[in-house]
Amino acid sequence: MYFLDQLLNGLSLGCIYAFIALGYTMVYGIIKLINFAHGEFFMVGAFAGYFVLMYAGIERLPLPYPLGTLMAFLVAVLAAALASAILAVVTERLAYRPLQGADRIAALLTALGVSLLLQNLGIQVFTAEQKGYPEPRRFITFEQAEEFSGEAFEGPVYVLHDVTSVLGDVSENRQVLVNPDQPFDPKVLTEYRDPDIYTWHGEPLEGFFVEQPIPVFTKKMIIIFALVISFALLWLLVHKTQVGRAMRAVSYNPEAAQLMGIASGRVISATFFIGAFLAGVGGVIWGMRYGKVEPFMGFLPGLKAFIAAVVGGIGSLPGAVVGGLALGLLEALVQGYLPSEYTGYRDAVAFVALIVILMVKPSGLLGREEGEKV
- 201-250 residue pLDDT tens: 888 999 999 999 999 999 999 999 999 999 999 999 999 999 999 999 99
* Better-scored residue on pLDDT, 259 or 92: 92
Q: Using an 8 Å Cβ cutoff, are 134 and 187 in contact?
A: no
- Highest-pLDDT range among 239-253, 330-344, 354-368: 239-253
Measured CA to CA, the distance from residue 348 to residue 212 in angstroms comes to: 36
Q: Is the pLDDT of residue 368 over 80?
A: no
Q: How far apart are the first and last CA of the chain?
A: 55
Using 50, 70 and 90 to split pLDDT, how confident is the model at 5?
Answer: very high
- Buried residues in 135-150 as b, exposed as e (16+ CB within 10 A): ebbbbbebeebeebee
Average pLDDT score over the chain: 91
Computed from CA positions of residues 72, 77, 78, 82, in that sequence, does the dihedral angle turn out positive or negative?
positive
Nearest to 49 by CA among 15, 20, 78: 78
Side chain identity at 236, as an amino acid letter?
A: L
Q: Is the pLDDT of residue 279 over 90?
A: yes
337: phi > 0 → left, psi -120 to 50 → alpha, else beta; which? alpha
DSSP state, residue 64 = -
Residues 6 or more apart whose CB falls under 8 angstroms from that of 325 comprise: 10, 11, 14, 15, 17, 18
Measured CA to CA, the distance from residue 120 to residue 296 in angstroms comes to: 9
Measured CA to CA, the distance from residue 28 to residue 316 in angstroms comes to: 10
Q: Is the pLDDT of residue 43 over 60?
A: yes
Collapsing DSSP states into helix, strand and coil, what is residue 207? Answer: strand
Residues 6 or more apart whose CB falls under 8 angstroms from that of 30 comprise: 247, 250, 251, 267, 268, 271
Q: Is the pLDDT of residue 277 over 90?
A: yes
364 phi/psi in degrees, rounded to 5 = 90, 170
Residue 373: the pLDDT is: 45
**What is the distance of C-alpha 282 from the center of its chain?**
3
Pairing between β-strand 207-211 and β-strand 137-141 as defined by DSSP bridges: antiparallel
Q: Give the residue-averaged pLDDT of 80-89.
A: 98
Using 50, 70 and 90 to split pLDDT, how confident is the model at 374?
Answer: very low
Q: Which CATH class is domain 2-55+85-133+215-359?
A: mainly alpha
Measured CA to CA, the distance from residue 50 to residue 44 in angstroms comes to: 10
pTM (two decimals): 0.92
Which run of H or of E encompasses 266? helix 264-290
Side chain identity at 357, as an amino acid letter?
A: I
- Domain(s) labelled CATH 1.10.3470 in the chain stretch across 2-55+85-133+215-359
Q: Using an 8 Å Cβ cutoff, are 270 and 29 in contact?
A: no
Computed from CA positions of residues 81, 305, 4, 364, in that sequence, does the dihedral angle turn out positive or negative?
positive
Q: Express each pLDDT in 120-148 by its tens digit.
A: 999 999 999 999 999 899 999 999 999 99
Q: 367: number of CA atoms within 13 Å, CB side?
A: 24
